[in-house]
Amino acid sequence: MRNGVALIALLLTAFISFDAFARQDGAPARALGMSDAVRALGFGTAGLYFNPAAMSQAVQYAIDTGYGYRNWASRHNFHLSLVDSQTNPKLAGAMAYSYSRGRQDDSLTQTHDIRLALSSFIKGKNVFFAYGAGFRYMNVRVDNSKNSRLSLNKWAPTLDVGLLLGINDIFYLAAAGTNLIAMPVAKTRVSTERGQAYAPRAVGFGAGLVYSIVHFGVDIDLDLQSKEKPTVSPMVGLELTLARAIALRAGFVWDRVGDLKTDQKRVSAGLGYVSKWVGVDVGYAHDVTHAKNWVIESSIRVFLP
């Protein structure tokens, strides 16, 4: 019996290489440049990751593909996503696939992340109300070269939901629940039943301002699963669009998802170019409390007629 418990603990600890982290692999570069304060400003494919209701916020048919890297986990990610709120303006749909790969010590960790989402809206004279839901199916695979008991291969489904309220096409309020079905959990201490979820159940709230060349967002992410009490991660982001083509972005997030040891205070910056047919974005975030922690994301967006 004791050996069986030890084996289960070893299998569960294989997830420790997944630092619980508010930013998800494959999330758009535009959002990273704004420190992910986009629950009320998640135009396009960002809705798949932050608030599915936001897919109805703008009319577009777009493909987004790109590459990202976070150095503290030595993890690369590649993503491809599509959103269509143009074919049927009353019903937006989106899908995405992302792949990540990272090696730490003797473990090679890979994920396959599939997302599908739908959203719709009701619009009055000065009020816009959108609602949406998303399905996520993720495969987590860990191959340990020295200890096969630490290797695993697991699929896990979960759900996201979101709401978005707009007033005069200027002010927006958002609420979103993510990972409502529990995702894989890693044991942080063998002596306790408590663990650390790779993608913890969370609720996010956001407020956004869209006026002229300014997009400004303030969000909080409430982690309901990682600790004994809910933990709040605040974030703020700004985007300025110059000459209707050049986007300058900046933001800050105090990321408290997961154990206290994973807390990060990240300053973000981003640059983008957007035309009628194509967009190119780069986002970068650096942890000011741990200089070795940084993440970069890039993407190319194609807007179809």
In the structure, what pLDDT confidence band is assigned to residue 259 with cuts at 50, 70 and 90? low
**pLDDT attached to residue 74:** 87
How far is Cα 304 from Cα 61, in angstroms, rounded to an integer? 5
Question: For a pLDDT cut of 90, what percent of the chain falls above it?
Answer: 63
145 pLDDT higher than 80:
no
CB 33 within 8 A of CB 19: no
List domains and CATH numbers for the chain.
2-303 (2.40.160.60)
**pLDDT attached to residue 150:** 64
**pLDDT attached to residue 47:** 93
> Which residues are CB-neighbours of 141 under 8 A, at least 6 positions away?
109, 110, 111, 152, 153, 154
> Measuring CA to CA, which residue among 68, 163, 148 is closest to residue 113?
68
Q: What integer is the mean pLDDT of 123-130?
A: 96
The model's pTM is 0.87
Q: What integer is the mean pLDDT of 151-157?
A: 81
Q: Name the residue with higher pLDDT: 122 or 104.
A: 122
**pLDDT attached to residue 5:** 37
pLDDT, tens digit (0-9, with 9 covering 90-100), for 9-28: 333 333 334 444 567 888 99
Residue 168 DSSP class: T
Within the chain, how many helices (H) and strands (E) appear? 2, 16
In the structure, what pLDDT confidence band is assigned to residue 144 with cuts at 50, 70 and 90? confident
Give the CA distances from residue 220 to residues 10, 31, 204, in Å, rounded to whole numbers and listed in that order. Answer: 34, 14, 6
- Of 31-35, 181-185, 232-236, 254-258, the one with minimum mean pLDDT is 181-185
pLDDT, tens digit (0-9, with 9 covering 90-100), for 54-107: 999 999 999 999 999 998 778 999 999 999 999 998 999 999 999 999 887 777
